[in-house]
Structures are given as structure tokens and as C-alpha cells.
């Protein structure tokens, strides 16, 4: 059994509190929450029947009854928030992306190692049964070798203040882009080569990317990735293989996988216990019991993703200099 403290009480923390309340597992106790405002923390505590509410992240992290801190602030604060939790001897589950550069990520894992604590990126989709199934299916090559992938995902998010603020880590790459990129790293492999990066700037601040088109090969398989935070684009990945096509209905939580070929039309459907967010907490509970990090989204996986995000942004800068 673990007692969980939620740090930063925005949209995703509400979603997690609802999910864990619905799951109602005796292994996962929603114990405390911490906000920059005590009244906000008190409201959250009352809404989800937590035991403690704190008006600062420091007080939350100092609570000795907490085993795991879940960090859910804008990405630019993850680095400092994770350090605060680790320095107070807490295991950490930190929202995606786990921070905003490879350098920051290396510092965090190094501190976790020094403190003998578990640090896990909350890349929730990697812990779901549908992701394990997808990975096995891709490895089996049911339609022959993969020739190319076309992944797209766009949502209207310009109404979210953190998405359009440079100071809060705004931009589509770090928020939405991580889903197709992490999926491709996971199923195709970690050797990548960037061929083209096309960022179109947000009208309110040209240093923020709002529509990106990326051409990246993963293990020599060419992939086109289209992401947007100012328009709806079908969330889908089309995997062209030698003998047909595999279509994933989503880049984040895959719910349907279609196999289409000359004489084949097959659909695999998946259902989560609640909505899929619970899986990472259930696995983290086990990891803490076993004192063993999770393979589903390992340290190396998180650092590779951070390196790729750095490389994409550097590629874009070089192109424009």
C-alpha cells in the first residue's frame, strides 16, 4: 500500500484524483495534496476526501506519511519540484515530459540514484495493456516489415494558458508531440535520425511552436509526424507494411488496432479498468514494494525522449540561423 501526495492541482491532478477514486484500490491511498494556495488545496481535499491539504509544495513534501509524490505542474517546474520531493525522501512519479532538457533529466536521475529512490516519468500510455499488445504485435510483423509511419495528432489547446506561455513551457512539441514520438521510439527503436523540422509559430509569441511537421527515421523507418495545438487533426498512426497497413486509432492510449491487407480486415479492441491512468500508479506501487524501477518507461526511455526533444529544437534553430 502506498500513500500518494499530489503536487500541483490543475487539470491532470483532478483527472488522476477522479481515476483513483473510481479505481478504489486499497493499495493506492490518495492521501494528501499540495497547492500554492491553501484554499485550493482544501477544496481539492474535500472534493476527493483526502486526509491532508497543504498550502505549499514544501509542506506537502515534508509530510512523513507520504510514500509517493505525483508532480503535475507545468513542465518547466518539474525539475525543481522533483528535486524538492527527492530531497524529502519521497519516490516520484512526474508528469510528461519529465522536464525540459536532457541535462535536467540526467540531474534528476542522478539525484534519485544517490537518494536510493524511484523516479518515474508518468508516461501513462506505456503502462497500459494495449501498449504491451501493440509492441508484441509490431515485433511479430504480421504484415511484413514496416516501410513507413504517418502519425498525426492535433487538438485546440490555445485556450490553455500554459500552452501559450513560453515561461510555462508552452508549445505543441513538448505537450502533444511527446505522444507520437514516444510511441515511435517504443515500437520502432531508439536509433533516430532527423531529416526535417517545420515549426509554425504561435501568433501571440513567435518563440512558441503551434503546428509542427517532423520527418524523422526511427531505425531507418521514415516517419512523418504532424502535430497541432490550434486545430483538430485526427489522432491516428498509419503504419505501412510490406503486405498491408496497421492503423492505430490513437497515438496516446491505443484503443483499437486495425490490420488491413488484401484478404485481411481485423480489429483488436482494448478496454481499461478505469481509463488507463490507473495503470502507472498500480505499477508504481509494485515497483516501490520490489524496490525496482519499471521497464515499461525506463530511465533510458525517458532520457532518449528528452534527447530527441532537444535535438528537434536544435535542428529547428540551426535551420533558421
Ligand X SMILES: NC(=O)c1ccc[n+]([C@@H]2O[C@H](COP(=O)([O-])OP(=O)(O)OC[C@H]3O[C@@H](n4cnc5c(N)ncnc54)[C@H](OP(=O)(O)O)[C@@H]3O)[C@@H](O)[C@H]2O)c1
Longest dimension (CA), the chain: 61
Nearest to ligand X of 146, 279 (CB atom): 279
* DSSP-H helix ranges across 49-174: 57-62, 75-87, 102-115, 129-140, 172
Paired strand residues for 112: none
SS3 letters for 294-318? CCCCCHHHHHHHHHHHHHHHHHHHH
Rg (CA), the chain: 20
CB of 124 to ligand X, least distance (A): 5
CA-to-CA distance for 146 and 201, rounded, in angstroms?
32
Q: Among candidates 73, 305, 97, which has minimal Cα distance to 192?
A: 305
CA-to-CA distance for 148 and 80, rounded, in angstroms?
39
Nearest to ligand X of 172, 241 (CB atom): 172
Residue closest to ligand X, measured at CB: 10
Binding site for ligand X (CB under 6 A): 8-12, 35-37, 40, 72-75, 77, 95-96, 124, 162, 168, 175
CB of 222 to ligand X, least distance (A): 27
Spell out the residues 6+ positions from residue 46 whose beta carbon is closer than 8 angstroms to its own: none
Nearest to ligand X of 168, 273 (CB atom): 168
Nearest to ligand X of 29, 33 (CB atom): 33
CB of 161 to ligand X, least distance (A): 7
CB of 308 to ligand X, least distance (A): 16
Backbone angles phi, psi at 186, to 5 degrees: -70, -40
Nearest to ligand X of 67, 95 (CB atom): 95
Q: Among candidates 125, 309, 135, which has minimal Cα distance to 239?
A: 135
CB of 74 to ligand X, least distance (A): 5
Nearest to ligand X of 246, 279 (CB atom): 279
All three cell numbers of 7: 503536487
CB of 168 to ligand X, least distance (A): 6
All three cell numbers of 159: 485556450
Nearest to ligand X of 161, 319 (CB atom): 161
All three cell numbers of 254: 491505443
Nearest to ligand X of 173, 246 (CB atom): 173
CB of 147 to ligand X, least distance (A): 30
Cis omega before residue 216 (within 30°)? no
Q: Among candidates 183, 162, 204, 199, which has minimal Cα distance to 246?
A: 183
CB of 162 to ligand X, least distance (A): 4
Calculate the dihedral angle through the C-alpha atoms of 81, 87, 92, 95, rounding to the nearest 10 degrees.
Answer: 10
Amino acid at each position: 500500500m502506498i500513500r500518494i501526495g499530489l503536487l500541483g492541482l490543475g487539470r491532470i491532478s483532478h483527472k488522476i484524483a477522479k481515476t483513483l477514486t473510481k479505481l478504489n484500490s486499497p493499495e493506492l491511498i490518495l492521501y494528501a495534496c499540495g497547492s500554492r494556495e491553501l484554499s485550493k488545496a482544501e477544496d481539492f481535499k474535500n472534493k476527493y476526501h483526502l486526509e491532508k491539504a497543504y498550502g505549499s509544495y514544501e509542506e506537502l513534501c515534508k509530510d512523513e506519511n507520504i510514500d509517493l509524490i505525483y508532480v503535475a505542474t507545468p513542465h518547466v517546474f518539474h525539475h525543481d519540484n522533483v528535486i524538492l520531493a527527492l530531497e524529502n525522501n519521497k519516490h516520484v512519479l512526474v508528469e510528461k515530459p519529465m522536464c525540459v532538457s536532457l541535462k535536467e533529466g540526467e540531474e534528476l536521475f542522478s539525484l534519485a540514484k544517490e537518494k536510493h529512490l524511484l523516479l518515474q516519468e508518468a508516461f501513462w500510455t506505456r503502462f497500459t495493456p494495449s501498449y504491451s499488445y501493440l509492441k508484441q504485435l509490431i515485433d511479430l510483423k504480421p504484415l511484413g516489415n514496416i516501410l513507413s509511419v504517418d502519425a498525426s495528432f492535433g487538438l485546440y489547446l490555445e485556450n490553455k494558458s500554459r500552452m501559450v506561455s513560453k515561461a510555462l513551457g508552452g508549445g505543441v512539441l513538448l505537450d502533444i508531440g511527446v505522444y507520437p514520438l514516444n510511441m515511435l521510439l517504443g515500437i520502432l527503436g531508439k536509433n533516430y535520425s532527423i531529416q526535417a523540422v517545420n515549426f509554425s509559430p504561435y501568433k501571440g509569441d513567435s518563440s512558441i511552436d503551434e503546428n509542427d511537421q517532423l520527418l524523422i527515421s526511427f531505425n531507418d523507418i521514415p516517419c512523418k509526424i504532424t502535430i497541432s495545438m490550434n486545430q483538430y487533426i485526427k489522432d491516428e498512426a498509419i503504419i505501412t507494411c510490406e503486405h498491408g497497413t496497421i492503423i492505430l486509432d490513437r497515438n496516446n492510449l491505443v484503443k483499437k488496432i486495425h490490420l488491413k491487407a488484401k484478404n485481411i480486415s481485423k480489429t483488436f479492441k482494448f478496454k481499461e479498468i478505469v481509463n488507463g491512468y490507473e495503470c502507472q500508479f498500480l505499477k508504481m506501487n509494485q515497483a516501490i514494494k520490489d524496490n525496482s524501477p519499471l521497464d515499461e518507461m525506463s530511465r533510458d526511455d525517458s532520457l532518449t525522449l528528452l534527447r530527441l526533444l532537444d535535438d528537434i529544437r536544435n535542428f529547428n534553430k540551426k535551420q533558421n540561423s
